[in-house]
Structure 1
């Protein structure tokens, strides 16, 4: 690799690492505060919070990598122009395309790192998060298995167990549910059991009754039952899912989807095809925006006022390309050939960058000097 390329790639990678660290820190802390509030309100320990926070890191890094690549490219280009280093390279005969070659190499390096995240690490982290939430729901259930005490699994819900025998059965159970406006339901049973269900823990009650009080009419109805199932999953956890979604499956598994995978995810072949192509195309966004940031700053000549207009123009182009990437899934996942739209955002970005490099290298007319 020529010395100029090594120098510029080293500059880009160093600043990319710094900006990525800052952006990940800001975004991660913002997400962690929300997560901390949710977990602490459920009575979880700091260890659980750290575990869930670490599982969100791959997705956070994936989101900020294109932005960090763009900012690094703009910063380095502005620095080299202000210090006249690029002017010297242009004087030696370097064209804008030649000067952008190390930026392309830098963008491809970021693309490879992002591809590993998008296709493997992020799906695994999301799958692990779902598994941890399922485990957490069972742990939350165990908190309420305390005999002789009134507990509150959820808002306007009161739970009481008189005794827990050696076999794990609950004796003389009382459950009051006041979540519905204008209605109060009271469940009593001689014995009950906690069991796992598809959507979370369930309470199976035996030999009991349900008393329903209408607060408006003050009328009460009583229903006796031999067995009754009460869903605790909606109370104890916000989201419990045992079936994987598309975002929780690695790309290698999605390349050859079978009928079992279609049934598990509830997705159509078109949705899976778009998801795979979206994961292939998304890493190229980092390459495109890095080239856009560098090429935009080459459009203007030297100015004592700086390159703020070019930087603003680069930011506008970044927003446009990112907008295309955001809008594309809405149509791409529903159309038979919609997977092509996954490549529109990165493709448009690369075309814009190439057009700006061409424009920056065009011959410029020289103004005649008056005698």
Structure 2
């Protein structure tokens, strides 16, 4: 199935070494093809797996006739490299780490998934494994979204797990996100005769004041408390050093709890900033925790870990929108994601593998 000659990854070395190997095969968004070639070469000999490649998204699924099916997914792309490959295995503060791009977000999780996909020949449930491209860039390129549009039949399941970094704890659902541009208008004039014009940047002061004074809510949804956030993430205005600007734009990001829809979040922003010109430039629904689903309950019981909220947006929202309860579960501290010193505690890789192996290999119904 691979389109170019590609060497398989060595699965016999275990999930920690596989994490290092996956990371060292650089796959910045848009450059995932060879890594996916190697994943195909790694898994195409396993008869219990049906492989389906769509672009640079690879699906591997069992078809054992089990009563329930679980979807387990992870993205294979990373943000750009900044002198942080190849991966180094080092001890930091007495803890064994893998340091390098992708170790947290999220090739450690993918490594665990690929290893288990190969080894779990008779899981207690049927499993659909999905490894997709372009998660770190624009949503219109997201491999999971494109696969759902092209092959909705693959998105049939009773429960989904996304291997985003959670320190090998369970984080349910996710916040939604809306980004807006708020514009103030003025009148251009020479800065030496400023009284002739109207300064649009000065007119943005009330917007910034409202943002600085805003107190984000903490909202409980199905037993988990989600912390919202409303922040300016950019501001532009002015055309020259001697011209009074006639336009200023404040770029605002609202992270909202999954008790409300994106439409409701936008309505809230309109209440706050409706006296100015508003343009919605991005919106993504959140996802409710889904922890009341029977398989989710069994999953938490098997892992014996508490459920926490996911503050950032993740692709669990795509599963939730399809009616599939979904959680985030993977090794790595999300605070380390995208950092130049990105690093994962190897004990978390082992814990994630142990948890998934025990749950998928045991009784889940």
TM-score computed with the length of structure 2 as normaliser: 0.25
- Relative contact order higher in (CA < 8 Å, ≥ 6 apart): 2
Higher strand fraction (1 or 2): 2
TM-score computed with the length of structure 1 as normaliser: 0.24
Q: Which has the larger radius of gyration?
A: 1
